[in-house]
Structure 1
């Protein structure tokens, strides 16, 4: 695999959960980083530790509006997106425009600078899959007009637009399809499964499971996800390539594991299932392993321990007494 070094990167959505981790990894490896974020769901506090570095700068800007970046750029990573169902159902127009206009503006920047472009797409392009596990060749089973469509179709459009720029304008572009990622830096009101379960457990509230809980997910530690994104960026391939952990678990399994790791006495409550919620989700990562030499390194129990520890500290929530000895790096 190629090990090209990027001198200067632009990261859209760089103050979001995943974007902040990517910015941090790039800075640590000697890349100058310009973070572009409108802070609608991202948080400046996520990158506050980078503010003192002369390799990092953050600017507030809505990526659906054109922008210019003076000077050379050799990597554009388009992460801007409202990835939480609570956020993209609250801001549906903004969500789909980030996948359309936002992706176009990021691609125009990469084209103008002759930069490598990486789109972080999603396993949601597979919809409620009829193929299991999901391979990159699978076209998906997506409801194009349902409540999740602004996110799903926004990402599918962004993938098509990325490849159009690659084919017609010669942009050096790559696509990663990310499966559920978790770790420190997730917002307390994020709404996704892992932070919601952890917050409820730490507060002693019921852990809410939508539907039966028998639906499956594949959870990938954020450090493994960031490594996969950068592996594709440095490799130079187009993809799309699945980046995720093939350790498939039911939602109930995850809820029970969070209960165990926190030592909470919280009950599990079942609420009405979400519309178009995928019944199964698991990546086939053979392509990532073969092309990039990438596989996840952190197993779920360890990663959730770290997530509970980190998020409890970030949110200022104490661990239940029974969970204090179970959590730590």
Structure 2
């Protein structure tokens, strides 16, 4: 990886990590991250690397993933860190965790809707069987302090109101729709967490992630913001598919990583927290923002049908709870997030 790309990520961690002194309680502790070689795992590794380096701490990471070779190729500067230990393992068949693990961040599983539709049984198995295997293994750890389970905002179902989604919000689900396998399996995984917390007294909290943006996120993934950024880097046009009035929000990756690590310290056992940005933006406005951050003049084209949409999907979290209890505040604006993501991906493309 180029030094320029490394510097972007390092500077992002520095800017997001506003209370670095709070992580001193993690000195000498071990954190295991399932899905550790993916987007979230890479950013947690970057943030821990920054904290260890800047504060002279010794926080140890175990990254559990299915493709360690790919991780070493993509981020060799992380793979060679002495505090990072790589474990190649499918979480569905996990039996034992390292005996010195103190914290677990359960982030295994892909949110890619193409994978869910093509192999829904694997999706269900990953989140149900994978979560059960992990919690079974964690129940045998002697010095376990906390488990952070990353669920999904998809558990809320549809939201076509102007309301921001609180942790108690629940909308409708379309019955007998196989594409709902991701959301339903995330729901059952949360139920498993409830069982293990109540019956086996495991110290579990749940984070429900919304949408993120930043380096390490594959811009070929089938999400609007990724597609818009890819189109802009390729010289346009930016194509809006579907209802341009759809509203989402985007938390920058270093803010996300900082907040997840803060949850190890400030998260209350048995509680659920929304993790995301509470600033909504329509797909139309997002496309034009990305256009404005492109150095070349590009078009924005709407490819949706001309029919009048009777409803507008709005999946934006109310983050009052996590902001108050974690003393968390978004640092990067959507414009800063877009600008830095485009810059990082241009450097990646130039390689």
TM more than 0.5: yes
Secondary structure of 2:97's match? coil
Q: CA deviation at 1:59?
A: 2.3
Aligned partner of 1:234 among 265, 285, 306: 265
Measured after TM superposition, the shift of residue 235 of structure 1 is 1.7
Higher relative helix content: 2
**Residue 268 in structure 1 maps to residue 298 in structure 2:** no
Partner SS for 1:112: coil
Q: How does 1:36-185 map to 2 (within 5 A)?
A: 36-39=64-67, 43-114=71-142, 115=144, 116-129=146-159, 132-143=163-174, 145-185=176-216
**1:209 and 2:231 are equivalent in the alignment:** no
- Per the TM alignment, residue 27 of structure 1 is displaced from its structure 2 partner at its CA by 3.9
1:16 corresponds to which of 29, 34, 38: 38
Number of aligned residue pairs: give it: 313
CA distance, structure 1, for counterparts of residue 188 and residue 99 of structure 2: 29
How far apart are the structure 2 equivalents of 1:263 and 1:225?
27
Tell me, in whole angstroms, the C-alpha distance in 1 between the residues paired with 2:154 and 2:291: 27
Matched, 1:35 2:101: no
Q: Deviation string for 1:192-223 (max 9, x for gaps)?
A: 22221111111124323221210100111011
Quick one: distance in 2 between partners of 1:271 and 1:90?
24
Q: Secondary structure of the equivalent of 2:134?
A: helix
Instruction: Report the TM-score, using the length of structure 1 for normalisation.
Output: 0.87
Q: Shift of the alpha carbon at 1:144? A: 5.2
1:297 aligned residue: 331
Return the offset for 1:46: 4.4
Contact 1:27 1:33 in 2 (8 A): no
| TM-score using structure 2 length | 0.82
The CA RMSD measured in Å over matched residues stands at 2.4
Distance 1:61-1:252 versus aligned 2 partners, 3 A rule: same
Q: Distance in 2 between matches of 1:179 and 1:119?
A: 14
CA-to-aligned-CA distance 1:199-251 (integer Å, 9 cap, x gap): 11111243232212101001110111112211222124132101111110001
Pick aligned residue for 2:280 from 241, 248, 267: 248
1:316 alignment partner in structure 2: 350
Aligned equivalent of 1:287: 321
CA contact (8 A) 1:11 1:19 kept: yes
* Separation in 1, partners of 2:72, 2:191: 31
User: 1:321: which partner in 2?
Assistant: none
Separation in 1, partners of 2:350, 2:120: 31
Aligned to 2:229: 198
SS in 2 for 1:49: helix
Instruction: Please list every run of 5 or more consecutive structure 2 residues that lacks an aligned counterpart in the other structure.
Output: 1-18, 52-57
Deviation at 1:178, TM superposition (A): 1.0
Q: 1:257 aligns with which of 282, 285, 289?
A: 289
Bigger shift: 44-53 or 57-66?
44-53
